[in-house]
């Protein structure tokens, strides 16, 4: 259950925040691929640390020892609970939720968090429903143990909500929190509670992951995205060439995805991925609010568009009014000479 709060009451909340924080205990659900921790988990750990109190982690996977080892080096983690079992192949929410419910039953955390990725979006609503609380999705700020900030209307308004639920179950927008550092910690691990039931609702069959030598879109320092202005999938080759010179990931607008130019895991925006790289280059993208919702927190935004009135120029730090089919090869050529 949520209550909307007025700005002037937030000071009072912050005052009581410090005194309440020692009673808090947060469980971070670790996202990983059994080999390494997914970067957004490190951002989620930073968010969890802002709540105050103890932060614990749950690693559920199949042969996930390396993940536990890596995580144990992150400072500020009280303990790591490990559930290493074939049942967690594919990280199905139907398998993970009973484990989390059993863990919550034993430890009564005040907060449970995960990253707002496909993994978190699959799991958090199901878990919240099983615990009979409201999920709080995609938070960008924490103003107190029960008060969270999130965007609404495709990022056009910011809403501050207070949750009255006994356990706050939320997902974290990675780009809104710094990544916790791996290095100094020495967290101990222990066996996670036994859920006492098996998942007979779903079965993991297989997965086909797209492989790329370029950096991952959500964690890349540089991103170049193409829009409908690219005109075809073949023309994205121009962006791949430029990206390879800049060690950049390549993204796309939804119009480019819907037109079949590129796969939808490249989509940036409200219904795609949220990115906040050091440099974002928007090529042939008009700058619709739904696209801006996914990239406007980038440190430096460059727009290349032939239409000087394109809304993307309103958010761009540097704008180039030009035909992309001329500008992009020229940029690649200049970088090739360096």
- Binding-site residue positions: 228, 253-254, 267-271, 284-291, 305
Rounded (5°) CA angle 26-32-33:
160
Select 138 or 146, whichever has its Cβ closest to ligand FAD. Answer: 138
Q: Which two tokens stand for residue 262?
A: 């590129």
Minimum distance from residue 159 beta carbon to ligand FAD (Å):
18
Select 131 or 250, whichever has its Cβ closest to ligand FAD. Answer: 250
Determine, following the binding rule CB under 6 A, whether residue 104 of this chain makes contact with ligand FAD: no
Q: Under rule CB under 6 A, how many of the chain's residues touch ligand FAD?
A: 28
Select 52 or 272, whichever has its Cβ closest to ligand FAD. Answer: 272
Minimum distance from residue 272 beta carbon to ligand FAD (Å):
4
Of the candidates 58, 249, 255, 301, which one interacts with ligand FAD according to CB under 6 A?
255
DSSP assignment string, 163-228: E-SSSEEEEE-GGGSPPPPBSS---EEEEPPP--S---S-----------SSPPTTT-SEEEEE-G
Radius of gyration for the alpha carbons in the chain, expressed in angstroms and rounded: 21
Minimum distance from residue 294 beta carbon to ligand FAD (Å):
6
Binding residues for FAD: 228, 253-254, 267-271, 284-291, 305
Determine, following the binding rule CB under 6 A, whether residue 254 of this chain makes contact with ligand FAD: yes
Determine, following the binding rule CB under 6 A, whether residue 320 of this chain makes contact with ligand FAD: no
Minimum distance from residue 273 beta carbon to ligand FAD (Å):
8
Determine, following the binding rule CB under 6 A, whether residue 305 of this chain makes contact with ligand FAD: yes
> Residue holding tokens 């997914």?
38
Of the candidates 190, 216, 323, 336, which one interacts with ligand FAD according to CB under 6 A?
323
Determine, following the binding rule CB under 6 A, whether residue 288 of this chain makes contact with ligand FAD: yes
> Residue holding tokens 């398998």?
95
Which among 124, 108, 107, 144 has a CA at the least distance from the CA of 9? 144
Minimum distance from residue 154 beta carbon to ligand FAD (Å):
7
Could you give the 3-state DSSP secondary structure of residue 131?
Answer: coil
Of the candidates 61, 227, 277, 319, which one interacts with ligand FAD according to CB under 6 A?
227
Question: What's the Cα-to-Cα distance from 160 to each of 2, 14, 126, 139, 143, rounded to whole Å?
Answer: 10, 13, 23, 10, 8
Question: What's the Cα-to-Cα distance from 31 to each of 7, 64, 167, rounded to whole Å?
Answer: 34, 11, 20
Q: Which two tokens stand for residue 79?
A: 């303990």
Of the candidates 46, 270, 298, 332, which one interacts with ligand FAD according to CB under 6 A?
270
Which among 24, 14, 20 has a CA at the least distance from the CA of 48? 24
Q: Binding residues for ligand FAD, per CB under 6 A?
A: 227-229, 253-256, 267-272, 284-286, 288, 290-291, 294, 304-307, 310, 323-325
């Amino acid at each position: 259950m949520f209550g909307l709060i007025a700005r002037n009451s937030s000071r009072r909340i912050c005052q009581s925040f410090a005194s309440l924080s020692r009673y808090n205990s947060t469980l971070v659900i670790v996202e990983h691929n059994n080999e390494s921790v997914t970067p957004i988990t490190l951002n989620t750990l930073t968010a969890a640390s802002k709540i105050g109190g103890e932060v614990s982690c749950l690693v559920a996977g199949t042969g996930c020892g390396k993940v536990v080892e890596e995580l144990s080096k992150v400072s500020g983690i009280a303990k790591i609970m490990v559930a290493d079992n074939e049942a967690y192949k594919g990280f199905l929410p139907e398998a993970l939720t009973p484990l989390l419910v059993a863990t919550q039953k034993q430890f009564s955390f005040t907060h449970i968090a995960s990253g707002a990725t496909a993994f978190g979006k699959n799991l958090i609503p199901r878990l919240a429903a099983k615990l009979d609380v409201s999920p709080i999705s995609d938070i960008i700020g924490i103003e107190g143990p029960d008060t969270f900030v999130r965007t609404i209307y495709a990022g056009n308004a910011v809403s501050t909500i207070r949750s009255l639920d006994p356990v706050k179950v939320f997902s974290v927008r990675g780009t809104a929190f710094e990544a916790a550092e791996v290095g100094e910690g020495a967290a101990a691990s222990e066996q996670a509670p036994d859920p006492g039931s098996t998942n007979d609702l779903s079965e993991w069959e297989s997965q086909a992951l797209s492989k790329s030598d370029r950096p991952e879109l959500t964690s890349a320092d540089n991103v170049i995205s193409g829009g409908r202005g690219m005109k075809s999938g073949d023309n994205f080759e121009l962006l791949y060439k430029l990206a390879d010179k800049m060690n950049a990931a390549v993204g796309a607008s939804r119009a480019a995805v819907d037109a079949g130019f590129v796969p939808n895991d490249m989509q940036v925006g409200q219904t795609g991925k949220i990115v906040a790289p050091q440099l974002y280059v928007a090529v042939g993208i008009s700058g619709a609010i739904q696209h801006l919702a996914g990239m406007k927190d980038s440190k430096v935004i460059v727009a290349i568009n032939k239409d000087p009135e394109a809304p993307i120029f309103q958010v761009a730090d540097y704008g180039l009014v030009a035909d992309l089919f001329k500008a992009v090869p020229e940029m690649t050529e200049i970088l090739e000479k360096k």
